[in-house]
Structure 1
């Protein structure tokens, strides 16, 4: 039949294109199709010109999946449309099983959530197979900054991107933002309260690990990474985050942290670490210190006694207290925490002191310390590394067939036969002094019996060896400068403590891990200024060289602290205000109590000549009348409200208001042009209820003009 037409669809049969095919002879018809971009499949059937003769594979058509030329290859992959979501619009997710665990799955579901696996859709939605990939459209909720997903076949087989999951960033979808990699709660720690640390490994080195550990220390007196917690604590997983609660020790100024998987994978914030300031976590006072009140204070007159407390760290016997103002004193047993209740306060400055004796026991001070777990070695053991405190930076050397590393037992070294050497030198900040002790742990494995050697040495600043401790292959015991020891070979480790007892003498403590201590002594000449460790010629081709690795760790320099006894004292002044009703701080004739009653400052300028409530009466006059200076309706009228004449007695009404804390009188004059007012000295207290008062004036002598008034008692 001729000609033959092709009917083809690239979208699963939604649209069809009719194409005239080319006769290639031998009953073959050919047509080259241009495949649209991202077409998932091609479906085809054939017909003649009229369409009355059709070949459709018995109604099934012919179909083939199309793998787009820019589709991902290799392991399973995820592609989104749009590629970089930039709004809350729906996101089309295309999952390519490729050569992954779901490559043969006939049913694929998507396990999907957002913002660190919040709002997970349950149950897992099914995906639609489209050619080589599976597709699902996610309706993006507002305030989404990340879409999280993994895939499964509904029967227990999961593809979680090698434990990394898939996380698609979303921007401009609401106001929510991604969480910080590291955050703390409270955000600005104050005091020594616990701090919850949250680590989000999304997009970082530790994403997908089964356990995260925190390497954490603190800053004391400006020195970071003090008191690192070893071994590193395991964090607790909470969704996509890991948390740990840190309890700051008094004296903590800052906390520093990095994270690891318990092995070689570390997240140290691109060598910047993470640091958070801690405010107000003060060192606990030592000796004899008054902590309440912590400083001089002033109290009101009504406070007639005070409960004083403090610490008496190391104080023995008794503590004596005294109040210089009142002359009262007392004694109580010394205690680390003490309280003296009910110390009587006089009016004025109560200078209260405590005295006691602090006995200082001899102890040990740490002058230098370092450990291979310090954050300084998170990137390996390299020249110039200087972890811990008090030492100089490492100086490292190794031959071609020797090397160094950080291992579970500390700083590690290895060397092969043929005279290869690996050595590490650590300068001291200052030469070892008399009484100081240098400590180190060395841990060796096998020793090659044909020339292998490992050990430690102390040297002068020029590099000359002054003392050493070592084990040579073929020996039975460890050796030291001056001879051998009775310490057998062990691969458990040996703790060494070298104490300089004089400028030219030393004591040596050797304690095998799990064994008993041995003590040695000897002579040494020169200033000790460096530590050296080495592994030499200690390997063969027998495949057992890992068993010959050599480690050193726990470097420390300590010195004794003196003992003795010191007398300690502390004092504080508690100023008790006087009776405010008998005290006139600004000498204006108005007592402090009246100022305080109405909210004025008795220690500032006088307000006697000010009318605070604009009622026409000055504050000083309101004080005399015992009226309210901040209430315009409260004032003494200073006039006769009513009077009743009589043959022998004249009754005059004064007030209201009146008060029983003031005295009321009438004054008389016979001349209003040049008045001379003469009191009748009645001096009658006001009414208890603040009401009006009637004053009786004897009608004797010549007549006159009268007025009322009020005065202080």
Structure 2
């Protein structure tokens, strides 16, 4: 059901911060056909892998392989894609800290979740994955296996916790961080294999990057750790509009879709549809505008979010035309070009409006679905 609809004319502002899109990568991507190397960049939505000194200066410390070879010879919940996973190993027995970093293209936003899988056998040394916050250094979540004691979660609300001390050479974890607000979210670590278990908790901050690591492990094959299926997706059923109003501390009448708390003549729904700040008049940046005439008609350009973000946020954008202000608005009669990437998740859309009629009116309409 359509909840609210507002029309956006030529003079209303379109500007805003970007929202994060989805992301995915796994070891079967063609980028890793020749192995896993520094600055490889498979999948989409992530930056390139950046490998630390001890990851690249040695023999067989990182690579691609099957997690089913991780000493247990069998994986109940095989994390491979096409028999391939990302492998961190210590074949030459270095005492160095082997680490591999990767950034999201944009930080995890409320209503999104980040997930990954890993397979582990022996627990000597320390190995795992650290999620880092917006300042690129402060960890907001850590899961590591080692110390001959079990699996630990740290840097979260409640502090360091041992979530599994029983050993099995057939062990996989599926980990999910769900961003429930701009301030933090919930984590879930589900263990499968020889032992099944699930643990959950909360964390503070927003994910910006990840750090895969192995430190002080033995050179035995079964000391390897395998990762795969890195994914960022939108949380089904999440109320993105409510999260947006909470982010700006709007409540009561000021949080309504038809409210205009900053008095800039742009209703909240329209501010939300382009990621604007509803508490501050941001001027006329990126207003929809006519850019002149062409052989195909008047050139009308507006800015919006890409299809993926618009669908996740329940937003529909359409240019409508009418011969006069009392006539019915129509969604045809003009030529729309494919969207062009502008920045982050924003795109620009160019339309050609015909000049065959003596008068015409155009407006951008945004609807909440």
Q: TM-score, normalised by structure 1?
A: 0.26
Higher normalized helix content (fraction of residues):
2
Q: Which has the higher contact order (CA 8 A, sep 6+)?
A: 2
Larger Rg: 1
